[in-house]
Amino acid sequence: MKEFRRYAMISRPDAASDELCERAIRDLDARGYIRDELHPDVAFVIGGDGTFIYAVHHMMRTIGRGIDKVHFYGIHTGTLGFYTDYKDADYDEFMADFFENRLHEASFPLLQAEYGPDMHNAVNEIRIENAARTQVMDVYVNDVFFETFRGTGMCVCTQFGSTAYNRSLGGAVIQEGMDFIELTEISGIHHSKYRSLDAPLILKKDTVLEFRSESFKGALLGCDADVYRLDDVNSVRLFVCKSAEVHMLRGRDVSYFERLKSLF
C-alpha cells in the first residue's frame, strides 16, 4: 500500500476526542506528515460511527468527486463501531499500525439520489419521509412497476446502513461483505383496499429504484443526516453510485459479529 503524507483531521466535539485529536496531530507533525484539509491522502476520524459518516460528507462537500483519493482511518472514543477497528485505549496500536504501514484498504459503496438536476449521496441510507400527510408513491424496480405505497415513507440502505435507522424500522441486518441494498417501509398503511409488500426487500447492488408521485409536497429526502425538500419533485431515482466509493484503512482483524454484539 502506498505511503500517505498529507492528512486531514475530523474529530467529534467532546473532551476525550479533542484530547486524542491533539495528540494525533502532535505525533503526525513530529514525523513530518503535512496537515492538508483540502487535499489529504488520509482523513483521521476520531469519535464514533456518526463522526465517521459526518467525515465522509464533509470531505464530499470539500473535494467533491475527489473523495476516491481520500482514505478514512478511524478510532472510536466510545464503544467499538462498525467503521472503526480501534477504541481510544488502543491509540498507540492505532498510530503504530499507520506509521509502520500495517493496514489494508477496504472500500464500501455510496448511495445516490437523483431528481431533476439535483444529486445527493449517502453512506448509510437515503429516506423519503413525509410527516405532514400520507405519502402516496409508486415504486419501480429497474424501470418495472412494483407497487403503490401509502404511508410515511421509504428507507433505502447499504449493508453498513442496515444496522442503523433501517434496523429500527424492523429491517434485516445484512452481514458485512454482502453487496446488497435494502428497501424498508416507514409506517406503511395496509388494509383491505390497498396494501404494499409490508416487509423488508433485499436487492442486488446494481438495482435502480424509482419513486414516483403526483405530489411530494411536505416530503423530505434524508441522506444520512442531510435533509432536502421535495415539494416540486415528482420522481426520485435511487441507486448505488458508480463513479465514487469510500475507501477505508483497516488494521485489526475484528469479527463482524463481535462488532454486532458490542452494539446490540
Residues annotated as catalytic are 49
Taking alpha carbons only, the member of 193, 209, 197, 234 closest to residue 156 is 209
Determine the Cα–Cα distance for residues 113 and 158; give it in Å rounded to an integer: 13
Amino acid at 94: F
Q: Say how many Å lie between the first and final Cα of the chain, rounded.
A: 34
Phi and psi based region of residue 203 (left: phi greater than 0; alpha: psi -120 to 50; beta: remaining): beta
Determine the Cα–Cα distance for residues 260 and 37; give it in Å rounded to an integer: 32
CA atoms within 13 A on the CB side of 256: 9
Strand segments, DSSP code E, in the chain are 6-11, 34-35, 42-47, 71-76, 86-87, 104-115, 118-122, 125-129, 135-141, 144-157, 180-188, 201-204, 209-212, 220-223, 226-229, 235-250
Angle at 197 between CA 194 and CA 201, to 5 degrees: 160
C-alpha cell at 116: 431533476
Backbone φ and ψ for 17, nearest 5 degrees, come out as -70, -40
